[in-house]
Copies of this chain bind each other. A is one copy, B any other.
Amino acid sequence: MSDIGEETRGRSKANEPAHDIYTEEGAVRPDFLARVGAAIADRDVLYLRQHVARLHESELGDLLESIMPDQRRAMVRLLGTDFDLTALTEVDEAIRMEIVEHMSNAQIAAGIGGLDSDDAVYILEDLDKEDREEILAQLPFTERVRLRRALDYPESSAGRRMQTEFVAVPPFWTVGQTIDYMREDEGLPESFTQVFVIDPTFKLLGVIYLDRILRTNRQVKIETIMRETNYPIPADMDQEEAAQLFEQYDLLSAAVVDENGRLVGVLTIDDIVDVMQEEAEEDIMRLGGVGDEELSDTVVDISRSRVPWLLVNLLTAFLAASVISLFEATIEEVVALAILMPIVAGMGGNAGSQTMTVTVRAIATRDLDIHNAWRVARREICVGLINGCLIGTLVGLVAGFWFQDPNIGGLIATAMLINMVAAASAGLMVPILLNRAGADPAVSSAVFVTAITDTTGFFSFLGLATWWFAIG
């Protein structure tokens, strides 16, 4: 999946720049889509081989996502063995499943034979156990064993994401022997950036980057220039944890070892970048109250995945309504309160979501924890006080003039200040407490924060008004 392999395979032609299939905004060009569509309809295999089969895997992926389902199936069929299965790692899961289901196991097996092991695993792991076994059975022995070993590791583990192809040499070899081995051995991986040093049982002893080999004289022993690998990654480590190690220590690649410290594969930054992107994506989606839906999902799937969050929010909405109903009599007397009360609740919600967003991110990036929470809490409450005073005064003035009543102005200003401070506290404490309780703060914080700002907003404004007009 790295560009090293790409350039070596030379799939993109120099006189036909790859970016060409895209419009300025990054969509696939409509005229290209039309031309491909026509070629599919005409069964113009020659055009497809020349203009589609040569696309970069990610371009082919974008193309697959941009055409109709029946066009996808027809195109994959027409391309036959010229269809690069790596493109399947670049499309939405729903589209991948749809394409794979319409391919014969023989075609999949033929295509998978040419892939890097991490890409092969990525495609195989979503298949039925039966299909997977049938495909594996058609692969050469070594490859089958390697893929099976990777598939044996738990889902989303480093073992699933690793490449099982690597270059390893014994520590007693010289630099010269190593270079000669690399010049002569035909079975080396397509591309690599480091050489691992292992003992006869495959136990990982060290690592050497290629620039070190190139800069060292031929007679020098490997063991004298090898480096200890500071961060060997256990194959069953979760991919997110592995991504954090990559990020923290700016790793480009890392050895993956089994429970006995034996080298089983290598994890590279390009796979980790995908994991990081998925992570950030997940946080954004969760904060917005949506699950892992994709643009290609069906209406029913999406509706089903979004309803639960709406139902939880409905509970808080009724909670807020029941707070309002406590003050029915006051509202009947002063209708202005009904008109203004959504402002108090809504602005509290906005301020609360600001604090909450910062808090959720700080927890995710591990910048915030129980130890510095107090310092941050003091700061957030101060910000709540300042912004509460500013916005409260402004709202008070506007409302006072609108309803020609300074009482209304004073009441809403005070309620606003109270709710802004409540919003700051809730926006900070809810994610921290959820995190401590072992829940994902990104998923559920918003509901609790809104519940607090809504009820506080309505209660403070209507409560203050009831009390004020009662004594007034």
- Residues of chain A touching chain B, judged by Cβ–Cβ distance below 8 Å, are 1-4, 6-8, 10, 12, 14, 17-18, 23, 25-27, 30, 56, 58-59, 65-66, 179, 182-183, 188, 191-193, 207, 209-217, 227-231, 244, 246-252, 269-270, 273, 276-277, 280-281, 283-285, 287-290, 293, 295, 299-300, 302-303, 306-307, 309-311, 313-314, 317-318, 320-321, 324-325, 328, 331-332, 335, 338-343, 345-347, 350-351, 353-354, 356-358, 361-362, 365-372, 376, 379, 382-383, 386-387, 390-391, 394-395, 398, 450, 454, 458
Contact B250–A1 (Cβ < 8 Å): yes
Name the contact of A317 in the complex, choosing from B58, B309, B313, B346 (C-beta under 8 A): B346
Chain B residues positioned under 8 Å from A287 (CB to CB): 284, 287-288, 357
B310 A350 Cβ-Cβ under 8 A: yes
19 A-B pairs with C-beta separation under 8 A: A2-B252, A3-B250, A58-B249, A182-B215, A188-B215, A210-B214, A247-B277, A269-B269, A269-B273, A276-B277, A283-B284, A302-B383, A307-B391, A309-B350, A310-B354, A317-B347, A328-B335, A335-B338, A346-B450
Contact A58 to B250, CB < 8 A, known contacts A30-B371, A210-B193, A376-B295: yes
Q: Is the CB of A350 within 8 A of B313?
A: yes
Pairwise interchain contact A354-B14, C-beta atoms closer than 8 A? no
Which residue of the partner chain B has the closest CB to A447? B350
Say which residue of B192, B210, B307, B341 sits within 8 Å of A390 (CB atoms): B307
**A280-B284, A313-B347 are known contacts. Are A357 and B290 too (CB-CB below 8 A)?**
yes
**Contact (Cβ within 8 A) B193 A211:** yes
For A343, the chain B residues whose CB sits under 8 A away are 314, 317-318, 320-321
A58 and B347 contact, Cβ closer than 8 Å, known pairs A10-B227, A358-B285: no
In the assembled complex, the Cα of A327 lies from the Cα of B320 at a distance in Å of 21
Q: How far is the CB of A30 from chain B (nearest CB, A)?
A: 6
CA distance A348 to B376 in the complex (A): 33
A25 to B324 alpha-carbon distance, docked (Å): 41
Please indicate the chain B residues that have their CB under 8 angstroms from the CB of A357 in the complex.
284-285, 287-290
Q: Among B283, B339, B370, point to the contact of A325 (Cβ < 8 A).
A: B339
Q: Which residues of chain B come closer than 8 Å to A368, judged between CB atoms?
A: 295
> Could you say which residues of chain B place their CB within 8 Å of the CB of A285?
357-358, 361
Given contacts A1-B250, A25-B366, A280-B284, contact A213 B211 (CB under 8 A): no
Cα(A226)–Cα(B357), bound, Å: 48
Report which of B8, B214, B249, B386 forms a contact with A214, defined as CB distance below 8 A: B214
What is the minimal beta-carbon distance from A303 to any residue of chain B, in angstroms? Answer: 5
Residues of B within 8 A of A376 (CB): 295
Return the contact of A383 from the options B59, B193, B306 (Cβ within 8 A). Answer: B306
Q: How far is the CA of A386 from the CA of B303 in the complex (A)?
A: 7
Inter-subunit contact B18/A214 (CB<8 Å): no
Closest residue of B by beta carbon distance from A272: B273
Is A4 in contact with B290, judged by CB distance below 8 angstroms? no
Q: Which residues of B contact A324 (CB under 8 A)?
A: 338-339, 342
